[in-house]
Structure formats: structure tokens, C-alpha cells
Amino acid sequence: MTSPAPAPRIDLVPLASADRAAWLARMEAAFAAGVRDAGLQPGEQPIPKAAEMQEELDAPGTEVLQIVRDGEVIGGAAIGALDQGRRSLELLFIDAGHHGGGAGSRAWEAIEARYPDTEVWETDTPYFDQRNIHFYINRCGFHAVEFFHPGHRREHGDDRGGKPGGEHDGGPDRMFRFEKRMPSARH
């Protein structure tokens, strides 16, 4: 009987400025694939666009990372510091050709290990993206804590480049907000 092959190694590498344009293009492609996977047509739902993300990626306290599996870049993440003990997962994406093999879960584990002082993680995802909702709740241990829609708008501008009041150019902001309290943070 042979033992299973070890899981491929996942590394998080800070994004070099020379790789930024390619990172942004891959981010757009990954989110566009999420729209297609949900059975929607391009443009039916807003997705993060490279031009919108520039300011967010340059925000103070934001770390932009490449997700590297066995030497190959397969995704990216952007992590923001909210306040003491809280961090925001601004973006996490795995290139479409690498879905389904556990790379996203291992990338999330690597992110948690990179920021061991985090007490509470926060992120959000569009209401239509069942794959993401499944990933955050069932794989990563997040809990849905808020749902933004036309009757319950954000008090601030959308973290994904939307307008104050939660509107994107493509329509109202319908997003789940998730939180994950780390075990050391539970009292």
C-alpha cells in the first residue's frame, strides 16, 4: 500500500511592483470566472476591476501577496489591518485552473499562520457566488454576520471600489459580510 502524496507546498510571497499588472489581470479573470460559474453573463454583477483596486492595494497597512504552490503562482490575496486584533481579507483568489484541489484552503491556512496575532478576520463576498460562500463558511470557518442589499446599505463606501451607500456602477451592493473569531480570541 502506498501512502498518499504530500499536499503541495503553499507559500505567500509579497507582490513585487513588477508583477502588479499581471496580479491585477489574474484577479479580474478569477472574479469573472466566479460570475460565469454562477451562471451569470459578464456585466450582470460587478466584480473588482484593476483600476478600482489600485487605491485599495496602496492603502496604508495593506499587504498584497502572491499565492505560490510548488514554485508556481496560482493566486493572490490582499490583507488589510482594520484595528488592533482585527484584519480584513480584502481579496483572495485562486486562478480558475487551480480550483477544487484544496489550494484555497491551504492558502487560507497559510494566511492565518502569517498573522498569528489576528483575533478577528473580516471579509465579504457577493450573494450570488455560492462557491465563495461555501468556501468561507464550510472550509475556512467564517460566519455570515451581515447581508448588504438595497434595504440595508453599508454606512461607508464599498471596500471593493463601490460608491458610498453601497452602489457599484453595475447596481446595488448585495454582499455577505463574514467574520471569523480565532480560537485564542474566544473568551
Rounded to 5°, the CA angle 13-26-154 comes to 90
* Helix extents (H) in 44-95: 50-57
- Whether 165 has a pLDDT exceeding 50, the answer reads no
Work out the burial of residue 102: count CB atoms within 10 Å of its CB; fewer than 13 is exposed, 13-18 middle, 19 or more buried.
Answer: middle
| Number of separate domains in the chain | 1
Percent of the chain with pLDDT over 90: 45
* Structural domain contains residue 3: no
Q: Is 2 inside any structural domain?
A: no
Greater pLDDT, 43 or 127: 127
In a domain, residue 4? The reply is no
Q: Give the domain extent around 147.
A: 10-185
Residue 1 has pLDDT above 50, yes or no: yes
Q: Give the pairing type, strands 120-126 and 86-94.
A: parallel
pLDDT in tens, 100-156: 788 899 999 999 999 999 999 999 988 888 888 999 999 999 999 987 767 767 765
- Cβ atoms 64, 75 nearer than 8 A: no
Question: Between residues 141 and 8, which one has the greater pLDDT?
Answer: 141
92 falls within a domain:
yes
- Please state, for a pLDDT cut of 70, what percent of the chain lies above it: 80
Does residue 150 lie in a domain region? yes
Closest CA to 131 of 155, 158, 96, 157: 96
Taking residues 55-65, what's their average pLDDT? Answer: 92
CATH number (domain holding residue 168) = 3.40.630.30
